[in-house]
């Protein structure tokens, strides 16, 4: 399972980097005579209502979903880690204020929080990624703060302070590096969660505009044909599920 998970992520990343290696079909150009054809040797995932190759659209759409997930994880990781580091290292009133704010964020469902941010920023791929990232800040902050508090009480950190180390220097050289392990594992898990959230928001119409081949939008476009052309939603959805499960397995291995 571990090898399969890494292979799944590697293939999808290659889809995003060199999509033309995996498919020769144009993801935006359709052939009306080939519309709604089931999966075959010519069209692995079938064709859509205007004759576009679905596999080509999934492959070329991976760059939008993956780049959005990387941005979301980056936003959550950086902001959450900084808040957790500040709260855990400073303690006192700063810890109380930051963590009470984190508790408020955790009390709001992630998708609802992301939708709220999108309403403020407006729809679009980048805004959706930022919104999903902001929704994950609280989870990163709580975990980071817990790890910082644990490391902060270690003997070698106290020795670093005792030998004349500055507050910022000890945090940067000793506390932060030794508290990042679980946070990185969470980032791997959040990568899959971010792909799922971005696809969900794309399905709802807040992400990329048609005819952009974004995964959530592909599933949304095929829902009107689900009774007769199952492959339009099932196969792109299976790709999303496979990537999310692979990211979760990799997160477990990192942890």
- The 10s digit of each residue's pLDDT in 165-192 is 777 777 778 788 888 888 888 898 899 9
> For 74-99, how does the pLDDT look when each residue is reduced to its tens digit (9 = 90+)?
999 999 999 998 898 888 888 899 99
Q: What pLDDT, on a 0 to 100 scale, did the predictor assign at position 156?
A: 77
Q: Please give the Cα distance from 93 to 90 (Å, whole number).
A: 8
> What is the pTM for the complete model shown?
0.88
Q: What pLDDT, on a 0 to 100 scale, did the predictor assign at position 73?
A: 94
Cα radius of gyration (the chain): 22
Q: What pLDDT, on a 0 to 100 scale, did the predictor assign at position 253?
A: 80
Q: Which two tokens stand for residue 95?
A: 């810890």
Q: Does domain 2-254 have CATH number 1.10.760.10?
A: no
Listed as ranges, residues in the chain with pLDDT below 50 are: none
Confirm if 108 and 238 have CB atoms less than 8 A apart.
no
Q: Please give the Cα distance from 255 to 214 (Å, whole number).
A: 30
Buried b (16+ CB within 10 A) or exposed e, 50-82: ebbbbbbbbbbbbbbbbebbbbbbebbbebbbe
Q: Please give the Cα distance from 150 to 144 (Å, whole number).
A: 10
């Amino acid at each position: 399972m571990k090898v399969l998970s890494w292979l799944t992520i590697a293939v999808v990343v290659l889809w995003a980097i060199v999509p033309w290696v995996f498919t020769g079909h144009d993801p935006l150009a359709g052939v009306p005579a080939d519309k709604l054809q089931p999966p075959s040797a010519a069209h692995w995932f079938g064709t859509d209502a205007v004759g576009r190759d679905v596999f080509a659209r999934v492959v070329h759409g991976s760059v939008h979903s993956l780049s959005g997930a990387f941005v979301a994880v980056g936003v959550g990781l950086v902001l959450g880690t900084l808040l957790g580091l500040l709260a855990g290292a400073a303690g006192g009133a700063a810890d109380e204020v930051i963590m009470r704010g984190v508790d408020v964020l955790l009390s709001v469902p992630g998708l609802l929080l992301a939708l709220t941010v999108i309403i403020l920023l407006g729809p679009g791929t980048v805004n959706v990624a930022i919104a999903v990232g902001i929704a994950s800040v609280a989870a990163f902050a709580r975990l980071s703060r817990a790890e910082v508090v644990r490391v902060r009480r270690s003997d070698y950190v106290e020795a670093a302070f005792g030998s004349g180390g500055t507050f910022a220097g000890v945090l940067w050289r000793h506390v932060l590096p030794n508290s990042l392990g679980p946070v990185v594992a969470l980032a791997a898990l959040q990568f899959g969660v971010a792909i799922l959230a971005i696809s969900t928001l794309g399905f709802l119409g807040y992400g990329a505009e048609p005819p952009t081949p974004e995964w959530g939008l592909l599933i949304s476009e095929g829902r009107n044909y689900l009774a007769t052309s199952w492959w339009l939603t099932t196969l792109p959805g299976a790709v999303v599920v496979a990537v999310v499960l692979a990211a979760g397995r990799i997160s477990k291995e990192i942890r």
